[in-house]
Amino acid sequence: MNTLVKFLESNRKIIYGALLIFCLFPFINPSIALLAGLVFALTCGQAYPKFNKKSSKMLLQFSVVGLGFGMNLHQAFASGKDGMMFTIVSVVGTLLLGSFIAWCMKVEKKTGYLISSGTAICGGSAIAAIGPIIKADDGQMSVSLGTVFILNAVALFLFPILGHHFGLTQHQFGLWAAIAIHDTSSVVGAGAAYGEEALKVATTVKLTRALWIIPVAFVTSFIFKSKSEKIYIPWFIFFFILAMVANTFLSLPTFFTDSIVWLARKGLTLTLFFIGASLSKDVLIRVGMRPMIQGVFLWIVISVFSLLYILYGQMAFIF
């Protein structure tokens, strides 16, 4: 066993390159790419951690914008409008519930708030935006990001299975994924695994939800009495909207839009591999039990109630 571990660690860069090429094959979907990255990180360790982090962030943004060239603005609005009100209610409700759970479990205040923000809005992007405002230190950021990251990995595999088990339509699953899964990457990955319409609904509703970073950041600055004016705004969301507008109102060649969407899907697959390969045993250790329990409990509550709302349509104000 020790010999195998040494072999894997000594050849990690070669294995990393081989898996990267493997993810480019057409039969590899985002779920498999994420699994490949996770297995690699936990058996071989990290290779090129800075490259993984930077590439996953940039490639995700380009991929999301590229997916916009495959969407019609009118259809996207029709798909996402029924999730708007529930998005508003669930964002506020999740923040309040998450903070209450953190207080009950005696989770450190800033860590608990970051986990709640990540669950309420868009995972790591929300944490990255809120962290500097509340002056979170590296430890608090790492624990929060680690918690959200682990739950994202679980959601990408679990949600499509549950969606089929409960007989969710493409539209229902897209809405559920956008509400209950943290990061945009995992939302888009789960939607793509479920179907074309699920992908469109999930992407539209999730990016609408991500816009809540801006008002939440301003409110947070008052809650934590911070005078910081630096707020991370996910500008790629606006480029995603522009791509949809262009595809809807301009006579773009089909070959051009199809090619961009194909590249975007490949980019998403690579993004999930980079994210999986960024996990480390140290991250798992740093997360600890209490923040993880808070994150899991909050995630389960949001997932269950949002599913009930989607299935029965009478749970919108249960929070």
pLDDT at residue 4 is higher than 70: no
Percent above pLDDT 90 for the chain? 12
User: How much is the average pLDDT of 250-256?
Assistant: 86
First to last CA, the chain: 50
State the DSSP string of 114-160: HHHHHHHTTTHHHHHHHHHHTT--HHHHHHHHHHHHHHHHHHHHHHH
Most confidently modeled of 64-68, 86-90, 236-240, 258-262? 258-262
Q: What pLDDT shows up at residue 211? A: 72
pLDDT at residue 9 is higher than 70: no
Q: Which of 134-138, 198-202, 239-243, 284-288 has the lowest mean pLDDT?
A: 284-288
CA 275, CA 63: separation in Å to the nearest integer? 14
Q: Which of 72-76, 98-102, 313-317 has the lowest mean pLDDT?
A: 313-317
Q: Which of 142, 104, 182 is nearest to 279 (CA)?
A: 142
pLDDT, averaged across the chain: 79
User: How much is the average pLDDT of 188-202?
Assistant: 87
Per-residue model confidence as pLDDT tens digits over 209-230: 777 777 887 788 777 765 555 5
Per-residue model confidence as pLDDT tens digits over 115-171: 999 888 877 777 777 877 787 776 677 778 778 878 888 888 899 999 999 999 998
Q: Which of 230, 245, 231, 204 is nearest to 64 (CA)?
A: 204
Q: What pLDDT shows up at residue 227? A: 56
pLDDT at residue 48 is higher than 60: yes
All residues at 6 or more sequence positions from 4 whose CB lies less than 8 Å from its CB, including other chains: none
Residue whose entry in the numeric block shows the structure tokens 């909050």: 298
- Copy the structure tokens of residue 225: 């009495």
Which carries the bigger pLDDT value, residue 303 or residue 188?
A: 303
Which carries the bigger pLDDT value, residue 237 or residue 171?
A: 171
pLDDT at residue 111 is higher than 80: yes
Q: What pLDDT shows up at residue 161? A: 93
